[in-house]
Amino acid sequence: MENVVLIIHLILALGLIGVVLIQRSEGGGLGMGGGGATSGRAAATALGKVTWVLAGAFICTSILLTVIAAEKSAGSSVLDRLTPGASAPADDTTPSIPGDGGSLTPPPSGGEGGLTPSAD
């Protein structure tokens, strides 16, 4: 469903761009162009009506995509997806030496390594 709405949204966006670029400049933007003394609104052309329809449909698909995205993420947060210690390796993992094919292993923690003081 989301993919269908997204494809329709992209088609509407491209259509809206095309229709706006095809339209004849009416002037009046920033006081440029437009020679005659015209009062009121100019008659709506077919391209103007198509532009409004495409713009309305584009806004509707934008809102629909927002609703779909909100439903997908309802009740979940980025912080909920993080597990404790996911960004740093755990204490019991040891890095491997590149090219050696094996991994470094720490001495056993039962006091057999000779590095821990004995209780004589």
Lowest mean pLDDT among 16-20, 60-64, 105-109: 105-109
CA-CA-CA-CA torsion sign (31, 34, 37, 38): negative
Q: Alpha-carbon distance 32 to 11, whole Å?
A: 32
- First CA to last CA distance, the chain: 73
* The pLDDT of residue 56 is above 80: yes
Tell me the HSE value of 89 on the side-chain side, using a 13 A CA sphere: 5
When the pLDDT of each residue in the chain is averaged and rounded to a whole number, the result is: 75
Q: Label residue 12 exposed, middle or buried (CB < 10 Å: 0-12, 13-18, 19+).
A: buried
Whole-prediction pTM: 0.53
Which one is predicted more confidently, 35 or 76?
76
Judged against a pLDDT cut of 70, whether residue 102 lies above it is answered with no
On whether the CB atoms of residues 95 and 56 are closer than 8 A, the answer is no
**70-98 pLDDT, tens digit each:** 888 877 777 777 777 655 555 556 565 66
